[in-house]
Amino acid sequence: MHPGTAHPPASGDGGGTGLAAQLWRQNLDVARRCLEHPFVQGLGRGDLPRDRFAWYVGQDANFLEAFARAYALALAKAPDLETMTALRDLLEGVLDELRLHQGYAARWGVDLRPAPALATRAYTGFVLDVAWSRPLGAIAAAMTPCMRLYAYLGRSLADRVAPDNPYREWVTTYGSPAFEGLARRLEALLDRWHPGVEDVAALYRTAMELEFAFFDAAWRAA
């Protein structure tokens, strides 16, 4: 499957037939738990306490750095130019996201180099372990939930986000067609490179659970 071409429009909504679409459908329970989580609902309404968002952004900067390194490791293992190019673009997307975090940090006095919390360590440890030790299909399985989940959350919240919501940029970034495009490119890599990865569903599920734990830690921490 070629990135960005062979996916039906709403693959992330479960319309597709590829493995990525199938795994997304199997994990909609966790996705819905994330959407209903008070942290995410607070972002959507705009009444999430600022200190909780600041704590999350600091932890997320830590996470995104690991995520960028994981893409780089995947790129190093890519068997062809098309795959390398997709991973280069995905890596660039994370670096753009990190610049967005620097913007939040400047505005809201966020510490972008906090000590990583337990939920952050669990997630970065998982992603980097897979990235260092496993083939491309396994890496894509561990990283796809991150992209697809945030595209889903952004899109779900975007309709109702008020113009004066302080977290509007967060919602619109992840609800944007550009982010959807990146999620699809990673899903295309998963569809293409999963053969032979026996624990692909378990890797995907673990990442989804770690996403929930990440929001939950942010809700409870600050």
Ligand X SMILES: Cc1ncc(CO)c(N)n1
* Binding interface with ligand X (CB under 6 A): 60, 63-64, 97, 146, 150, 211, 214
CB of 94 to ligand X, least distance (A): 7
Supply the minimum distance, in Å, between the C-beta of residue 150 and ligand X: 4
- Whose Cβ is closer to ligand X: residue 6's or residue 181's? 181
Residue number, 148 or 194, with CB nearest to ligand X? 148
Hey, what are 98's tokens? 């990190």
In 12-135, where does DSSP find H-type helix?
19-26, 28-36, 38-45, 50-77, 81-108, 118-133
CB 198, min distance to ligand X, A: 25
Question: Which has the closest alpha carbon to 211: 130, 139, 131, 152?
Answer: 152
Nearer to ligand X by Cβ, of 11 and 62: the residue is 62
Q: Which is nearer to ligand X, 60 or 191 (CB)?
A: 60
Rounded to a whole number of angstroms, the minimum distance from the CB of residue 131 to ligand X is 15
Write 90-93 long-range contacts (CB < 8 A, 24+). Answer: 90/147, 90/182, 90/185, 90/186, 93/179, 93/182
- Residue 168 CB, shortest distance to ligand X, in Å, is 16
Instruction: Specify the residue, 21 or 64, whose C-beta has the smaller distance to ligand X.
Output: 64
The least CB distance from residue 45 to ligand X, in Å, is 20
How far apart CA 127 and CA 90 sit, in angstroms, is 15
Tell me, rounded to whole angstroms, the distance of Cα 115 from its chain centroid: 21
The amino acid at residue 9 is P
- DSSP state, residue 198: T
**Which is it for the CA torsion 53, 11, 190, 94, positive or negative?**
negative
Nearer to ligand X, 6 or 89 (CB): 89
Q: Who's near 38: CB < 8 A, 6+ residues apart?
A: 219
Q: Return all residues near 202 (Cβ < 8 A) that are at least 6 apart.
A: none
Closer CB to ligand X, 2 or 158, in the complex: 158
How far apart are CB 46 and ligand X at their closest, in Å?
19
**Tokens of residue 2, six digits:** 């070629």
